[in-house]
Structure 1
Amino acid sequence: MLDMDPIYETGVAVAEAEAAPDAVRVRAAHPDDLAAVLAIRNDAVATSTALWTETPQTPAEGAAWFAGFLEKDAAFVAEYAGEVVGFGVYCPWRPLEGFRHSAENSVYVRGDRHGLGIGTELLAVLIAAARQAGYHLMIADIEAGNTASIRLHERFGFENVGTVREVGTKFGRWLDLTIMRLQLS
């Protein structure tokens, strides 16, 4: 488990009682967060190219997917004004043991809450958690047209290592994948 207080406010751990009511708070996710996380994830499936599928997760599929991150202490949610408005997860980048020291991150913010620094707070916690878990490198696979996500990762020192052209499709068009990396150790 991440060796920090369970509530974060603008990157600094604070006691829950001291946190401002309208501040962004990032905390470890728990099973009760599933409905909010699944709503954010499925909205991204329906409206964006952040997830390269057009099939939303069912509640059962979402529960199984989310449980995998929860059991590894690798899922976090962002709260703003008392509600879950974003989530972030990290996991091994590839399943083969040769990649066991490389993690990838995913950050999602509810569409009506963009621009409040929520993604920044989530990514900061994901990097700290992956570093503490002993990962050597963090990868971000980002749809090349998602300039906001690319800029977010650049602010944390991720470097662009390349773009794979026309590697996927969604909404009837080809998508390019930008791969970014951050050295953790």
Structure 2
Amino acid sequence: MSTKQENFCADLSEHPNILVRQYKDTDFQAIASIYNESIAAGNSTMDCQFYTAEDMKVLANKFGDRETILVAERESCVIGWGVIKRYSPRLGYRVCCEISIYFSLAETGKGYGSILQTALLKKVEEFCYHHVVAKILACNQGSIDFHKRFGFEVVGVQKEIGFFKGRWHDMVIMQLVLSHILPYRPEL
């Protein structure tokens, strides 16, 4: 198990026009649109049905107190978003979360993902998560490499765990252990 920890630091001076902030209800249309692009592309989610703004709002309204969405905004336009959610509702897993990031396809490869990932990992620390999981489709080598740059390591591959677009898909499981974060509510 790795306890490698990177400095969660993106060079914001390269992108001074990018703002990362907590989501608002008015963001759900953009969040749904970006997610639907990912569904159509078929390389970053196993979802096969498109989402509406209302669908995204319903999902966000189910979040617990240590779950959230952050959005990346440029010139008042949401261009990407990331989510932190509990890994499992079982009490013993209270120290573990899962994160995901999605960007409009026109905005990928510009360095914005690093800014959002840095903000997500800082929020993960605020939420006192010790263990972070990322599940990535094996065909998405760019996302695997991206997560490795932040200290994530591959801990396994689930073979043929999903079937969509006429073929089987493998899922890469990655983890980041934040060894400096103590157990959340250790009295439990």
What is the TM-score of this pair, normalised by structure 1? 0.84
CA contact (8 A) 2:101 2:117 kept: yes
Question: Following TM superposition, by how much is the alpha carbon of 1:172 offset from its aligned partner in structure 2, in angstroms?
Answer: 1.1
List structure 1 segments (4+ residues) > 3 angstroms apart after TM superposition. 9-12, 68-73
Q: Which runs of 5+ in 2 are unaligned?
A: 1-8, 182-188
Give the corresponding residue for 1:165. Answer: 159
Q: From 142, 150, 157, give the equivalent of 2:144.
A: 150
Matches within 5 A, 1:8-157: 10=10, 20=16, 23-69=17-63, 72=66, 74-157=68-151
Segment drifting more, 167-176 vs 45-54: 45-54
Question: Following TM superposition, by how much is the alpha carbon of 1:164 offset from its aligned partner in structure 2, in angstroms?
Answer: 1.0
Question: Following TM superposition, by how much is the alpha carbon of 1:115 offset from its aligned partner in structure 2, in angstroms?
Answer: 0.9
Segment drifting more, 54-63 vs 145-154: 54-63
CA contact (8 A) 2:67 2:83 kept: no
* SS of equivalent to 2:109: coil
**What is the identity, as a one-letter code, of the residue corresponding to 2:50?**
P
- C-alpha RMSD over aligned residues: 2.2
Equivalenced residues, count: 170
Give the corresponding residue for 2:6. Answer: none
Task: Say which structure, 1 or 2, has more relative contact order (CA 8 Å, 6+ apart).
Answer: 2
Question: Following TM superposition, by how much is the alpha carbon of 1:70 offset from its aligned partner in structure 2, in angstroms?
Answer: 8.8
Question: Following TM superposition, by how much is the alpha carbon of 1:65 offset from its aligned partner in structure 2, in angstroms?
Answer: 1.0
What is the distance in 2 between the residues matched to 1:73 and 1:32?
18
Question: Following TM superposition, by how much is the alpha carbon of 1:165 offset from its aligned partner in structure 2, in angstroms?
Answer: 0.8
Question: Following TM superposition, by how much is the alpha carbon of 1:182 offset from its aligned partner in structure 2, in angstroms?
Answer: 0.5
What is the distance in 2 between the residues matched to 1:97 and 1:86?
31
Question: Following TM superposition, by how much is the alpha carbon of 1:167 offset from its aligned partner in structure 2, in angstroms?
Answer: 0.8
Judged with a 3 Å threshold, the aligned counterparts in structure 2 of structure 1 residues 81 and 74 are, in CA distance, closer, same or farther, namely same
CA contact (8 A) 1:29 1:70 kept: no
Q: From 177, 180, 183, give the equivalent of 2:174.
A: 180
Question: Following TM superposition, by how much is the alpha carbon of 1:85 offset from its aligned partner in structure 2, in angstroms?
Answer: 0.4
Question: Following TM superposition, by how much is the alpha carbon of 1:24 offset from its aligned partner in structure 2, in angstroms?
Answer: 2.0
- 1:71-113 Cα deviation digits (max 9, x unpaired): 6562111012431100001111122222111000010010001
Give the corresponding residue for 1:3. Answer: none
- 1:98-156 Cα deviation digits (max 9, x unpaired): 21110000100100011111111111111110111111110000001111110110000
CA contact (8 A) 2:48 2:164 kept: yes
